[in-house]
A and B are shown apart, each in its own frame.
Chain A
Amino acid sequence: MSESPIVLEAKGITKQFPGVLANDNVNFDLRKGEIHALLGENGAGKSTLMNLLYGLHKPDKGEITVNGKNAIIHSPNDSIELGIGMVHQHFMLIPVFSVAENVMLGDEAVKNGSLDRNSVAKKITDISKQYGLDVDPNALVGTLPVGIQQRVEIVKTLYRNAEIVILDEPTAVLTPQEAEDLFRIMRDLTARGVSIIFITHKLKEVLAVADRITVMRAGRVINTVKPSETDSAQLANMMVGRQVILTVDKQDHEAADEILKVEGITVRDQRDLETVHNVSFSVRGGEVLGIAGVQGNGQTELSEALTGLRSPTSGKVTIDGKDLTGKPPRIITEAGLAHIPEDRQRHGLVLSYSIADNMALCDYYHAPFSSRGVLQPKALDENARKLISAFDVRTPSAFVNAGKLSGGNQQKVIVARELSRNVKLVIANQPTRGLDVGSIEYIHSEIIKMRDRGVAVLLISAELDEIMALSDRIAVMYRGQIVAIVEAKKTTREQLGLWMAGAHVQTA
């Protein structure tokens, strides 16, 4: 590998933003046909470096060379011209357009004054065959699963003759199987001479797929290593800058009385399709029940029905003996629920509100935050200061808008707000999605603290590792049903994986 030529090199890159030195003398190089992982926590400067390579910002100091030539990149168009393609974490696709239309968008093929869909479709088929991408050019993007949509994004870059592809957190939205497929595609691409920059937080993936790993922290490159010469503990250490405990420290203890009881609930989604069928389970105080399952098997609707965001069509939900079926969120919250929602930016936060306001989002209407309908800024402020220090939220002050925080700190604001209340039940849906190692470690320990205090915890997560690490019992959801509930100690990854894939259905 070391003898293949360098296709892209950044030398001594320094970029200063007001108040932050985002890149401090960064050196980075990419060789032909390699997968070079860029690993780092939120705010480490990975994104700034990629913005510079993709022409969204200009460096203050340093130079970028592509294929040995000094490259001046002023805009994404320049970088596309240089053969650099980027797949963003949030796809830039139009759902009602076909794959071919999406791919040619911005670079439309025209024949006799009208769009030449056929030649584009043919080129897509060629690319897709050549790289093993398996994409149908005539399919509507909106109807495709997320994993395939991501391939469309990759095809888009290849269609524009990219030789360097930047993948920004590509596995954040994928199921484990889809992630495996992506890794295969990445290897196919590199085998054909494409070079890949792979941005991620996930240590396992880096070790599995990368040829070289560059770790960034606080704007600096800490080290560049080969997977064979390192392990996850060492990488985590470099990322965070201190020793990281990768396993959750959890003592055995007796569960108490039943807190959440769900009896035969059925839920329909907004398209009026029944996505949860006749589901029953219960969670006791002092235990964590993990719900494992591939995304889209009814977990979202289940948690919405339990937290009052959606009414179940039948069945019964009780918290601590109180019937709360179909009650609005405030009644359920007042009955003792803390809810860490699946989508933190959509449900969990008002991004243009200050941290202080967000930390009282569910409690603003009663003492001490308000008195006779008037908000009490002092109480809001005090609460925010207390929680910021107790939950280690990294922010200059409590007045900063939540939207200005990194994902990990946004999630900490939500976790702080929810877990600081006097609650009996925690429903945490994908509590660490898209977060960095440090934040994950922290949020896991907070969840276990709640459990140890005798609170019932329902954990819904697509990350099997998270489920295995935190749960006392594990339920597996498949196509809207709970197909198994087992003691966490008495099962294995493989067994859970089979249930998640619906293996029981064939045997039953």
Chain B
Amino acid sequence: MQSEKQSNSLIKRILQSISDASLVPFLAILTAVIIGGIIIKIVGGDPFLAYKGLIEGSFGSPELGLEKSLKAISETAVWSTPYIFAGLAVALAFKGGLFNIGAEGQLAVGAVFSALIGYALPEWLGFDLPVYIHLPLAIIVGMLMGGVWAGIVGALKAYTGGHEVINTIMMNYIALNTTSFLLNGVMKDRSPTNVIARTPLIAESARMPAIFDGLRVHWGFVLALLVAFFIWWLLNKTTLGFEIRTVGLNPDAAQYAGINVKRTIILTMMLSGMLAGLAGSIEVTGLNYRHELGFSIGYGYDAIAIALLGKSHPLGIVLASFLFAAMRNGATRMQFLTQLPVDLISMIQALILLFVAADAIIRYIYRIKSKGERVVLTRGWGG
């Protein structure tokens, strides 16, 4: 009886916290869509047709038929995969009190190393590897190198106090320019017809299989969902997660509680970098089968938006990633139906973000009282 009552209140608490957390992002999206619609109208388009195109392009519709609809959903899943990994990377760092702007660079490092293992390892060894060794190895090496790359920034923060925002940006320049150097030089695809900066194709044994024949969605998508669950579990159910969150929320209290704050900062950055590295590795092994300069159209930066929109909660990240993926994927059909430029999507994304970041606007429009505000006002007043 007692425990039943408790579990009831537990479920109620969880539902309450979900609705509290998702209210503002939901209204931000709604508001951005409405404003986007008005802008479409102003430039002479049909907002309803545009949004219809967006939805059809990302999730399919009876009109399109089963095959095209499945393809649309598959492509949305493909788009969402790097978003989930990179979004988790930024969110994990947020939880640890760190702002990882370097996901883009860490992602490139991960992609380069996965590609290298993927195409060059059989050559070096002189024999082919079975897929159950080669594929995991390619992914793990890319992931670890992303972790090392971000770990440098963590160590700089822990031991010298160098701010991670500046240092991750700097490390992005180093990573992206070094990648460019490698892809134009030693790692360049030497096939006679190739003129672009890209690696050779990775070996068959390093490629992630598609889930269904004829669709591009690959097992990396499933892995992304599993990793999202794992990160939720890590953060909320383990002592390491407790340490990461404590350092993020109150480093002074963490030190008082005997947590090694420096070690935790480095570890958080490394884990974050590993997730970003995974985003790159999975794109190489699951989708492109090579690393090509400029394949990442700002996944690492969109990831910051996704982490904010998802309130740094793994479930929120997955949902926000679906949204961003759907908008990117559906944009083509929207353009086809309405002749509106694809850039409109970037604008709506920017609006969503603006409203999430400046949530006071949303709270004002919809007259939502902030729950935390009263606490701040009455601090020190004793009650």
Contact = CB atoms under 8 A, between A and B. Distances in A.
A169 B242 contact: no
Interface in B256-302: 256-260
Interface string B327-360: 0000000000000000000000000000000000
A399 B12 CA distance: 13
Interface in B195-246: 237-242, 246
Interface stretch (A139-147, A202-210, A275-283, A403-411): A403-411
Contact of B258 (A47, A51, A333, A353): A333
A379 to B, nearest CB: 12
B253 A51 contact: no
B382 interface: yes
Contacts of B242: 357, 364, 375
Nearest to B242: A364
A113 interface: no
A88 interface: yes
A341 B377 CA distance: 25
A329 to B, nearest CB: 4
A473 interface: no
B382 A43 contact: yes
B382 A47 contact: yes
B11 interface: no
Interface in A344-363: 346-353, 357, 361-362
B379 to A, nearest CB: 7
A333 B256 CA distance: 10
Contacts of A375: 237-239, 241-242
B368 to A, nearest CB: 15
Nearest to B382: A42
A374 B378 contact: no
Contacts of B246: 350, 353, 361
A328 B383 CA distance: 36
Contacts of A61: none
Contact of B381 (A50, A362, A364, A365): A50
Interface residue tally on B, bucketed by range? 20 to 34
A491 interface: no
Contacts of B381: 46-47, 50-51, 89, 168
A34 B97 CA distance: 49
Nearest to A401: B375
A239 B258 CA distance: 38
Contacts of B378: 47, 51, 56
Nearest to A347: B256
A374 B241 CA distance: 9
A330 B239 contact: no
A320 to B, nearest CB: 18
Interface in A408-448: 436
A403 B237 contact: no
Contacts of A365: 239
A46 B250 CA distance: 30
B255 interface: yes
B116 to A, nearest CB: 33
B256 A373 contact: no
A374 B238 contact: yes
A339 interface: yes
A410 to B, nearest CB: 12
Contacts of B380: 88-90, 168-169
B163 interface: no
A312 interface: no
B13 interface: yes
B257 A329 contact: yes
A373 B240 contact: yes
Contact of A403 (B240, B375, B377): B375
Contact of B253 (A48, A169, A347, A370): A347
A349 B382 contact: no
Contact of B256 (A43, A168, A341, A404): A341
A361 B249 contact: no
A167 interface: no
Contacts of A307: 256
A362 B379 CA distance: 26
A361 B377 contact: no
A329 B252 CA distance: 12
Interface in B131-185: none
A349 B253 contact: yes
A373 B383 contact: no
A347 B246 CA distance: 11
Given A329-B255, A329-B258, A373-B239, A48 B249 contact: no
B159 to A, nearest CB: 16
A19 to B, nearest CB: 13
Nearest to A399: B13
Contacts of A406: 382-383
Interface in A371-408: 373-375, 399, 403-404, 406-407
Contacts of A353: 246, 249
24 contacts: A42-B382, A42-B383, A44-B382, A45-B383, A46-B383, A47-B381, A47-B382, A48-B383, A50-B381, A307-B256, A309-B255, A328-B260, A329-B258, A347-B253, A349-B250, A349-B253, A350-B253, A361-B256, A361-B257, A373-B239, A373-B240, A374-B238, A375-B238, A407-B382
- The 3 A-B pairs with the shortest beta carbon distances in the complex, nearest first, are A330-B258, A47-B381, A43-B383
Interface of A: 22, 42-48, 50-51, 56, 88-90, 168-169, 199, 201, 307, 309, 328-330, 333, 339, 341, 346-353, 357, 361-362, 364-365, 370, 373-375, 399, 403-404, 406-407, 436
Given A47-B382, A201-B382, A348-B253, 18 more contacts: A42-B382, A43-B382, A88-B380, A89-B380, A168-B381, A328-B260, A329-B255, A329-B257, A330-B258, A347-B252, A347-B255, A350-B250, A350-B253, A351-B249, A351-B250, A361-B257, A374-B237, A375-B239
